[in-house]
Amino acid sequence: MPSQSRRASFPKVVIERDADSEESSSEEEVEDDDVQTEEEEEEVAEEPENVVKVEVVSGSKKRERAPITISLKKVCKVCKKTGHEAGFKGATYIDCPMKPCFLCKMPGHTTMTCPHRVATEYGVIPAPHKSTYNSLNYIFARQLRPNIPRIKPAFVIPDQVNCAVIRYHSRRVTCLEFHPTNNNILLSGDKKGQLGVWDFGKVYEKTVYGNVHGCILNNMKFNPTNDGAIYSASSDGTISCTDLETGISLSLMNLNPDGWQGPSSWRMLYGLAINTEKSLVLVADNFGYLYVVDVRSNNKLGDSILIHKKGSKVVGLQCNPVQPDLLLSCGNDHFARIWDMRRLEAGSSLYNLSHKRVVNSAYFSPHSGSKILTTSQDNRLRVWDSIFGELDSPSREIVHSHDFNRHLTPFRAEWDPKDPSESLVVIGRYISENYNGAALHPIDFIDISTGQLVAEVMDSNITTISPVNKLHPREDVLATGSSRSLFIWKPKENFEIEQPRDEKKIILCGKAEKKLKKKLEGDSDDDFDDDAFSSKGKKPKTKKPYSKSILCKSKSKC
DNA sequence: AGGCCATGAAGCC
DNA sequence: TGGCTTCCCTGGCC
């Protein structure tokens, strides 16, 4: 932001006094810049809530004087100090300059001027071969490189909403999974423990199974030997195996057989992984322990093993796609850890990948299994280029806004399983951007080999944050879970061949559905699409995206 | 429209 | 270690 406009947003203190009052008191610590000029007096009149009346007593003379009115026009909501203001200005959020940068967490600047915001790859450590430049590299670069085609294929970005189910779940979506063989089936878990099965090819074929878990469905994975069943781990302390046709669940393990005995004993399951070679389901809890279940016998194998700091949540588990005995875990003790499943015991991890904050997710790359990608609450994606190489520090750290944990499902950067170069990942963005007057939260596609932002996708009608994203294993399709709704994105070119843009397939659920039905009964001219997308029906009646005034009304906190 | 609340980590003592 | 406060660009409901 130019310094001019930033200065203009700074607050002003006004001192008003009666005409007969004498010279100003020296006790008032008001900078010249902050004294309101006459032209701005009208503005003050509009904001009477900020007016503070102060009795000024000069020296020992306790003379009756008219009260001096000080208008504290702007008080920062973040640091509670005057002299500046933080919050929305239209669709743009202004940071508190007294706090470290909201994006990169470094002091001295705000998000607006953060170098990571200007260039997403700022500060990314270059690949090692670039820093060891020798004559051979020189010859290669000059003579050979121009003849070598780009190894990386062009990324295909699903950037248009193709279909959606609005308010499908009764609570926010926590995880998504594509069916391993049926290209059009998307599974979704929610905070209530329910499981959604949606055929987005047929659009209207959708079910939500309500009795899968008692509370948050944290993670799920398909049964590798039966793609009609899915395993899920929940904060109710159970692992369920649910039949997708009937919705009937079988409980594999229950960590709270005696029910609620207080928070200190209630165990919740977060991470879930499957070792296909050994037919094992692995889960981890909120106290740092790992449990192994043999799915052939449904028996728990051995004792639970402490794999993270005692008492800390283990939020992610994954078996290496090439070498299933390699296990990757991550959790709230700020570590991602690599284990050899053949000798699993407390403290026996092969490597500990340290982070500055909680680690939301850690994944091996989908094909070679040799890279590791983590998402941490310190607003950084970390990449380790090879698990066979140096693991003491990550190969790359990419600053990206995703540090919101409370109230939202944690953000997790997900690999594109179709990318042979294992460099494209998708992750939702927390911080909003101003898109033609609308504050939207895009979904980012990042090339983790360079840190560059390949694409940011958004729809003017999706105003909620989209922390849950999954790329299709075979098709150019992105699935998004945003609040209680699901969205399917496809590339624009495919989309236009398939159907015209105004024939989006949108389904409404719950109250929104009832509201629409009522509306349609009363007024058949109502535009379906407009209301279908809008969660609160606050959209303007025009076909255009949000007008600034509408957005300011609903979003601005000025 | 405004208030409330679910909810969780970090930091302090 | 444990209890308390703070954080303060959420989303949904009443």
The tens digit of pLDDT for each residue in A157-178 reads 999 999 999 999 999 999 999 9
Report CA(A267)–C1'(C2) in Å, whole number: 20
CB-based contacts of A556, cutoff 8 Å, min separation 6 = A87, A88, A89, A90, A91
Report CA(A356)–C1'(B11) in Å, whole number: 15
Report CA(A1)–C1'(C7) in Å, whole number: 26
- What's the pLDDT tens digit per position in A124-141? 876 554 444 455 555 555
Cα–Cα distance, A90 to A5 (Å, whole number): 14
- What's the pLDDT tens digit per position in A411-466? 999 999 999 999 999 999 999 999 988 899 999 999 999 999 999 999 998 999 99
Mean pLDDT calculated for residue range A234-246: 96
A247, A204, A244, A202: which is closest to A226 by C-alpha?
A244
Residue A153 clears pLDDT 90, i.e. is over it: no
pLDDT value at residue A396:
95
Report CA(A85)–C1'(C8) in Å, whole number: 14
The band of A551, judged by pLDDT with boundaries at 50, 70 and 90, is: very low
Cα–Cα distance, A466 to A430 (Å, whole number): 8
For strand B, is any atom closer than 7 Å to the CB of A406? yes
- Nucleotide with minimal C1' distance from the CA of A467 is C10
pLDDT value at residue A131:
43
A173, A164, A128, A116: which is closest to A402 by C-alpha?
A116
Mean pLDDT calculated for residue range A190-204: 95
Cα–Cα distance, A519 to A521 (Å, whole number): 5
For strand B, is any atom closer than 7 Å to the CB of A377? yes
Residue A541 clears pLDDT 70, i.e. is over it: no
For strand B, is any atom closer than 7 Å to the CB of A405? yes
Report CA(A214)–C1'(B13) in Å, whole number: 37
Q: For chain A, what percent of residues have pLDDT higher than 90?
A: 57
User: Average model confidence (pLDDT) for chain A?
Assistant: 79
Residue nearest to nucleotide B5 (CA to C1'): A407
Does residue A38 contact residue A46 with C-beta atoms inside 8 Å?
no
For strand B, is any atom closer than 7 Å to the CB of A308? no
For strand C, is any atom closer than 7 Å to the CB of A114? no
Does residue A351 contact residue A391 with C-beta atoms inside 8 Å?
yes
Report if pTM > 0.75: yes
- What's the pLDDT tens digit per position in A97-129? 888 899 999 888 888 889 998 888 888 876 554
A337, A324, A348: which is closest to A391 by C-alpha?
A337
Does residue A186 contact residue A481 with C-beta atoms inside 8 Å?
no
The separation between the first and the last C-alpha atoms of chain A, rounded to the nearest angstrom, is: 18
For strand C, is any atom closer than 7 Å to the CB of A86? yes
Residue type for position A111: T
The band of A184, judged by pLDDT with boundaries at 50, 70 and 90, is: very high
Report CA(A513)–C1'(B1) in Å, whole number: 24
Note every long-range contact of A338-343, with CB atoms under 8 Å and residues 24 or more positions apart, other chains counting: A338/A387, A338/A391, A339/A307, A341/A275, A341/A278
The band of A263, judged by pLDDT with boundaries at 50, 70 and 90, is: confident
Cα–Cα distance, A272 to A285 (Å, whole number): 10
Report CA(A495)–C1'(B7) in Å, whole number: 39
Does residue A479 contact residue A466 with C-beta atoms inside 8 Å?
no
List chain B nucleotides near protein: any atom < 7 Å from a Cβ. Answer: 1, 6-10
pLDDT value at residue A126:
67
For strand B, is any atom closer than 7 Å to the CB of A357? yes
Length of chain A: 558
A375, A382, A373: which is closest to A358 by C-alpha?
A375
Cα–Cα distance, A467 to A409 (Å, whole number): 6
Residue A22 clears pLDDT 70, i.e. is over it: no
pLDDT value at residue A51:
41
Residue nearest to nucleotide C11 (CA to C1'): A483
Residue A25 clears pLDDT 80, i.e. is over it: no
- Nucleotide with minimal C1' distance from the CA of A333 is B9
Report CA(A409)–C1'(B6) in Å, whole number: 13
pLDDT value at residue A60:
39
List chain C nucleotides near protein: any atom < 7 Å from a Cβ. Answer: 7-13
Residue A549 clears pLDDT 80, i.e. is over it: no
Q: For chain A, what percent of residues have pLDDT higher than 70?
A: 72
Report CA(A406)–C1'(C12) in Å, whole number: 15
Q: What share of chain A is helix, strand, coil (3-state, %, to 5)?
A: 15, 35, 50
DSSP structural state of residue A154: P
- Nucleotide with minimal C1' distance from the CA of A441 is C9
DSSP structural state of residue A422: S
Residue type for position A162: N
Report CA(A470)–C1'(B4) in Å, whole number: 33
- Cα angle vertex A276, ends A273, A280, to 5°? 60
pLDDT value at residue A496:
58
Does residue A484 contact residue A167 with C-beta atoms inside 8 Å?
yes
Residue A493 clears pLDDT 80, i.e. is over it: no
Q: Would you state the structure tokens that stand for residue A97, as one six-digit string? A: 């300059």
Higher pLDDT, A83 or A136: A83
Residue in the structure block whose two tokens are 């049926």: A182
Count of other CB atoms within 10 angstroms of residue A20:
7
- What's the pLDDT tens digit per position in A336-386? 999 999 999 999 999 999 999 999 999 999 999 999 999 999 999 999 999
For strand C, is any atom closer than 7 Å to the CB of A263? no
Instruction: Look at strands A505-508 and A160-166 and give their pairing.
Output: parallel
Residue nearest to nucleotide C8 (CA to C1'): A78
- Nucleotide with minimal C1' distance from the CA of A554 is B1
Residue in the structure block whose two tokens are 């340290």: A354
For strand B, is any atom closer than 7 Å to the CB of A314? no
pLDDT value at residue A17:
33
- Cα angle vertex A449, ends A421, A394, to 5°? 120
The band of A142, judged by pLDDT with boundaries at 50, 70 and 90, is: low
Q: Which of residues 324-343 of A touch strand B (CB under 7 A)?
A: 332, 334
A453, A446, A396: which is closest to A425 by C-alpha?
A446
pLDDT value at residue A50:
41
